[in-house]
């Protein structure tokens, strides 16, 4: 891998991979298991439940190998727990670890799958962690027990419910974390849909891929909610009469075009209405896109590969958030004078799950939309999803051009400029080549 950086040469290390193998007759099944905690198990600051949250699993089998896509309605899964859960799913269901995508919906109104002593902005919980682990294994068990002959295909819809989160502030003459309404900052409005249906045409599962940061319901920080991903998934499942499962994966994400910010004037009821409306629109677009997928296959090659990219680290202070800095007169927070300090090297775990002519690229960082777009354009397969499967030590994977602008993502990432963008693209292309 050739990386153009004067800082340090990043090491992209292949962890494991499985060849795509022989194309065989496809079987699949999906399951959904409730992970909504009882009120007496809610960690602070949570006090109530707005809507139920779930773990959803899709299992695919072509006679030669298997793959699984699993999504939990949680903000993130601690790295060690994430790795161990993949190992347990692999052992239970006979799936190569590199063929397992274990993702989160990134909803900010749920509990981290982490210990109660982990700290951080979003609470962790030992009891909730045990609940999610058990539910994940149960969802995979149910899916494995229900395998049936299916056909599958991919389509792309559009929904303009997102905007770039880097808003230009004329008074401060800098970008702030907000909602760009000029349309000058890139955001991807596409909605990827991977459809699995029975040979008689009954919907088995939809995998949705949309680039939205699930913070519409940020106004109510004490309430459990699946936010927009949960709302959209439930809408699809209800439209299918409860006989199908919808897995909502997060693509390189923009800000919701409509949201309610946390603060003394926050209106939780308004956030609920927005969340339901966005879920309805995305659910309807997913169903419409699925109906118009003209090419489906009953035989499919399945394969996967995993890699780790090491990059030099940095820590930027302050982060470009309204609560941390401002250049406005009379501000009660420090001025936005950003400084970088040396940080420890950081690792990006990423991989490719190939399902026929569809590549699902997944990474444990919030990949910015510009990199997601460049990555999809570079891939040699006909169809591509980019999935932010977890929130790992990289935190944000930022395009090199954004670092000098000190966008929120550029100040929040733990990786120095000149490593992550090209490293992910080069490594992904190598993985896909090795899977051929």
pLDDT in tens for each of the 436 residues of the chain? Answer: 333 333 333 333 334 455 555 567 999 999 999 999 999 999 999 999 999 999 999 999 999 999 999 999 999 999 999 999 999 999 999 999 999 999 999 999 999 999 888 777 889 999 999 999 999 999 999 999 999 999 999 999 999 999 999 999 999 999 999 999 999 999 999 999 999 999 999 999 999 999 999 999 877 788 999 999 999 999 999 999 999 999 999 999 999 999 998 777 778 899 999 999 999 999 999 999 999 998 999 999 999 999 999 999 999 999 999 889 999 999 999 999 999 999 999 999 999 999 999 999 999 999 999 999 999 999 998 899 999 999 999 999 999 999 999 999 999 999 999 999 999 999 999 999 999 8
Strands (E), 95-188: 100-104, 148-158, 162-163, 166-169, 174-177
Torsion of CA 19, 21, 23, 24, to 10 degrees: -120
Q: What are the boundaries of each domain within the chain? A: 24-303+362-377+386-391
Instruction: Report the C-alpha gap between 396 and 367 in whole angstroms.
Output: 6
pLDDT at residue 22 in the model: 58
Going 175 to 177 to 182 to 183, the CA torsion angle's sign is positive
Selection from 118, 177, 147 nearest residue 391 by Cα? 118
Q: Enter the pTM of the model.
A: 0.93
C-alpha span between 381 and 204 (Å, rounded): 24
pLDDT at 146: 98
As a whole number of Å, the CA-based R_g of the chain is 21
The helix (run of H) or strand (run of E) holding residue 275 is helix 268-291
Looking at residue 251, its pLDDT comes to 98
Its sign, for the CA torsion 234, 237, 241, 245, is: negative
SS3 assignment, position 190: strand
CA distance 364 to 285: 27
* Signed CA dihedral, 358, 364, 368, 371: sign only: negative
């Amino acid at each position: 891998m050739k990386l153009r950086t004067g800082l340090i040469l990043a090491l992209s290390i292949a962890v494991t991979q499985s060849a795509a193998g022989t194309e065989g007759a496809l079987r699949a099944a999906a399951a959904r298991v409730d992970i909504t905690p009882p009120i007496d198990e809610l960690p602070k600051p949570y006090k109530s439940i707005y809507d139920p949250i779930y773990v959803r699993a899709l299992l695919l089998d072509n006679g030669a190998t298997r793959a699984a896509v699993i999504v939990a309605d949680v903000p993130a899964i601690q790295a060690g727990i994430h790795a161990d859960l993949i190992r347990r799913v692999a052992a239970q269901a006979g799936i190569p670890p590199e063929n397992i995508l274990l993702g989160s919906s990134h909803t900010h109104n749920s509990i981290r799958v982490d210990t109660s002593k982990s700290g951080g902005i979003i609470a962790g919980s030992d009891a909730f962690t045990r609940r999610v682990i058990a539910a994940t294994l149960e969802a995979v068990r149910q899916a494995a027990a229900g395998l049936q002959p299916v056909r599958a295909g991919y389509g792309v819809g559009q929904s303009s419910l997102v905007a770039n989160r880097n808003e230009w502030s004329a008074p401060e003459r800098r970008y702030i974390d907000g909602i760009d309404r000029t349309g000058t900052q890139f955001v991807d409005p596409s909605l990827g849909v991977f459809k699995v249906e029975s040979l008689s045409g009954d919907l088995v599962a939809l995998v949705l891929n949309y680039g939205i940061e699930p913070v519409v319901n940020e106004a109510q920080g004490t309430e459990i909610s699946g936010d927009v991903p949960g709302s959209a998934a439930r809408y699809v499942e209800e439209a299918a009469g409860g006989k199908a499962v919808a897995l909502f994966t997060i693509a390189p994400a923009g800000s919701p075009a409509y949201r309610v910010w946390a603060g003394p004037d926050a209106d939780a009821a308004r956030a609920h209405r927005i969340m339901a409306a966005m879920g309805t629109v995305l659910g309807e677009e997913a169903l419409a896109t699925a109906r118009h997928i003209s090419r489906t296959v009953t035989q499919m090659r399945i394969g996967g590969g995993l890699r780790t990219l090491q990059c030099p680290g940095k820590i930027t202070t302050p982060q470009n958030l309204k609560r941390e800095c401002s250049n406005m007169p009379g501000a009660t927070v420090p001025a936005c004078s950003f400084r970088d300090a040396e940080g420890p090297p950081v690792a990006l775990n990423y991989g490719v799950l190939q399902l026929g002519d569809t590549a699902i690229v997944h990474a444990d960082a919030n990949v910015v939309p510009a990199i997601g777009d460049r990555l999809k354009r570079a891939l040699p397969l006909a169809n591509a999803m980019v999935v932010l499967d977890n929130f790992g030590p990289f935190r944000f994977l930022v395009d090199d051009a954004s670092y000098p602008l000190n966008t929120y993502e550029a100040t929040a990432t733990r990786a120095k400029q000149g490593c992550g963008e090209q490293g992910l693209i080069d490594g992904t292309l190598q993985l896909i080549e090795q899977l051929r």
